[in-house]
Amino acid sequence: MTAVILDEQLDRQFSQLAKQAHISIDQAVNDALREYLADYSDAQFAEKALDELSNNEDELIDWSEAKKSLYE
């Protein structure tokens, strides 16, 4: 378990969010952190894919070839 001290503005925003969503502040913070971590992971994956493309480590294929390979 980790304790976090929020600045006043974040505390106010999470309090409002929790009240509107009928959830606890803890749940609102947990949900926000889960979403942030998922977005961060997606961004890292995309950055790696772009690096591979720019370093010619990955081969680009035509869309029609990609579609055809899906049904083989």
Does residue 63 sit within a domain? Answer: yes
Give the chain's domain count: 1
The range of the structural domain enclosing residue 17 comes to 8-70
Q: What is the pLDDT of residue 49?
A: 86
List, as one string, the DSSP characters of 12-28: HHHHHHHHHHTS-HHHH
| Structure-block tokens of residue 25 | 């502040």
Does residue 66 sit within a domain? Answer: yes
Does residue 21 sit within a domain? Answer: yes
Give tens-digit pLDDT for 14-29.
Answer: 999 999 999 999 999 9
Does residue 1 sit within a domain? Answer: no
Does residue 3 sit within a domain? Answer: no
Cα→Cα distances 3→8, 29, 71, Å: 16, 11, 51
**Overall pTM surpassing 0.85 (yes/no):** no
Query: pLDDT truncated to tens, each residue of the chain (72 aa)?
Result: 889 999 999 999 999 999 999 999 999 999 999 999 999 999 999 999 888 888 886 677 889 888 888 887
